[in-house]
């Protein structure tokens, strides 16, 4: 077992979920709100966690793409029940919702004023309740990320970003992912792999973060298909959780055009598209767009991935059953036009190694269609 201090405290290892009461007690939390979703309730895991925490209160209304409306509803329960801390339990959506609820324990709404694109970073302070993030998928890495991505009241999917948003503890237990079905393993796994690729390509100078991203990429590329084939493969599940963790540990370098596009795509309510699946479909086109400016990094990726990165990801997408393109996912030409404009306003737009114009974003979408 390892205790890692890099951005926040990480407790990593099989069976670590049993120590959740100990970690909450160390933070002084006696009545936590468990922020989760109905799907996880149905697995029995939430009940198992409740049995460990007799004073806990559950909010299970997290949508697939978390909304400000759901955040407000969860916060109302937090206040009404006299909670003093939060456990985010689930995939990235539940963890991001938990972070946003935590923000409201010390800040007045609405959430839009705290988003990065609205200059909200300076408005966020650390006088908020403790939080433990417990991921049950290996994808977003939200357990060690500084951001919560929320669909705000005006319908935009935006990032709320601050060092104060980091969970107090990330409790990473690979055993909690053993029951993840192959399709969800694939979608969340491609999310983690895309994070490693984008953070490595981002132009900011941060050698430790680049090394972490490359190690995460190695873990994800060798483990994803093995985890899909055998969900109880201990080494594969540990590697995938490591990939998700390390991709997000490198977020401080910034993401890029993939996420600048997937955030507004994910905000299209009538489609409700999975973030990781979108990342997988867009990644080859963005890799090709970035190739001319990332120099030797392309060769580093090719050497580690066993071929041209765009072609390797395209082939992997085919093998694991990702959609053929955006149109197969229901994305129309009108939606692509709208998303190409919205991407310019996303907080990930400015950290792509090659800054795209609206027309270039539209071309990337067409190439991924």
Q: What is the pLDDT of residues 175-216, one digit of tens each?
A: 999 989 999 999 999 999 999 999 999 999 999 999 999 999
How sure is the predictor about 139, in pLDDT bands with cuts at 50, 70 and 90? Answer: very high
Same domain for 264 and 122: no
Same domain for 165 and 222: no
Counting the structural domains of the chain, the total is: 2
DSSP state of 127: -
What long-range pairs does 47-51 form, CB within 8 A, spacing at least 24?
49/17, 49/20, 49/87, 49/89, 49/134
Same domain for 249 and 158: no
Domain boundary residue, one of 176, 208, 232: 176
pLDDT at residue number 64: 87
Same domain for 211 and 92: no
Extract the runs of DSSP E, i.e. beta strands, from the chain.
2-5, 9-12, 32-35, 57-59, 85-90, 131-135, 147-151, 157-161, 169-172
pLDDT at residue number 1: 62
Please compute, for residue 11, the number of CA atoms within 13 A of its CA located in the half-sphere on the CB side: 16
Identify the domain containing residue 218 by its residue range: 180-367
pLDDT at residue number 7: 80
How sure is the predictor about 65, in pLDDT bands with cuts at 50, 70 and 90? Answer: confident
> Would you say the C-alpha torsion 297, 299, 304, 309 has a positive or negative sign?
positive
Of the chain, the percentage scoring pLDDT greater than 70 comes to 98
pLDDT tens digits, one per residue of 76-118? 999 999 999 999 999 999 999 999 999 999 999 999 999 999 9
Which helix (H) or strand (E) segment holds residue 189: the answer is helix 182-201
Segment 303-322 mean pLDDT = 98
Same domain for 192 and 310: yes
Q: How far apart, in whole angstroms, are the C-alpha atoms of residue 213 and residue 198?
A: 9
Domain boundary residue, one of 176, 199, 216: 176
Q: Which residues contact 30 (CB under 8 A, 6 or more apart)?
A: 24, 55, 84
Which tokens belong to 349? 């737009």
Domain boundary residue, one of 176, 200, 219: 176
Same domain for 96 and 206: no
**What CATH number does the domain containing 356 carry?**
1.20.1090.10
Strand partners, 160: 115, 148
Q: Taking the mean position of all CA atoms in its chain, how far away is CA 286?
A: 19
Same domain for 331 and 228: yes
Same domain for 227 and 348: yes
At 135, give phi and psi (nearest 5°): -75, 140
Same domain for 357 and 333: yes
pLDDT at residue number 119: 94
């Amino acid at each position: 077992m390892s205790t890692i201090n890099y951005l926040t405290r990480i407790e990593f290892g099989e069976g670590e979920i049993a120590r959740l009461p100990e970690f909450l007690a160390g933070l002084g939390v006696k009545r936590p709100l468990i922020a989760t979703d109905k799907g996880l309730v149905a697995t029995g895991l939430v009940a198992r966690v409740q049995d460990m925490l007799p004073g806990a209160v559950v909010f299970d209304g997290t949508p697939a793409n978390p909304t400000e409306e759901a955040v407000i509803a969860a916060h109302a329960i937090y206040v009404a029940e006299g909670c003093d801390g939060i456990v985010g339990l689930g995939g990235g959506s539940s963890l991001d919702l938990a972070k946003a609820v935590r923000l409201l324990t010390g800040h007045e709404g609405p959430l839009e004023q705290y988003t990065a694109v609205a200059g909200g970073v300076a408005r966020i302070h650390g006088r908020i309740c403790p939080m433990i993030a417990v991921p049950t998928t290996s994808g977003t890495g939200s357990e060690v990320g500084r951001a919560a991505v929320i669909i705000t009241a005006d319908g935009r999917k935006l990032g709320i970003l601050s060092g104060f948003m980091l969970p107090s503890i990330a409790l990473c237990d690979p055993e909690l992912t053993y029951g993840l079905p192959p399709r969800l393993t694939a979608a969340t796994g491609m999310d983690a792999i895309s994070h490693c690729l984008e953070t490595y390509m981002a132009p900011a100078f941060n050698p430790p973060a680049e090394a972490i991203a490359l190690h995460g990429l190695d873990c994800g590329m060798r483990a994803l298909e093995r985890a899909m084939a055998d969900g109880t493969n201990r080494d594969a599940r540990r590697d995938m959780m490591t990939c998700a963790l390390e991709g997000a540990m490198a977020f401080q370098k910034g993401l890029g055009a993939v996420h600048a596009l997937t955030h507004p795509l994910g905000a299209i309510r009538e489609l409700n598209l999975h973030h990781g699946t979108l990342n997988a479909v867009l990644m080859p086109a963005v890799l090709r767009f970035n190739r001319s400016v990332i120099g030797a990094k392309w060769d580093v990726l090719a050497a580690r991935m066993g071929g041209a990165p765009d072609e390797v990801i395209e082939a992997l997408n085919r093998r694991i059953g990702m959609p053929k393109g955006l149109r197969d996912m229901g994305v129309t030409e009108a939606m692509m036009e709208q998303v190409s404009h919205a991407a310019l306003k996303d907080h990930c737009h400015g950290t792509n190694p090659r800054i795209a114009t609206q027309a270039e974003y539209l071309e990337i979408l067409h190439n991924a269609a």
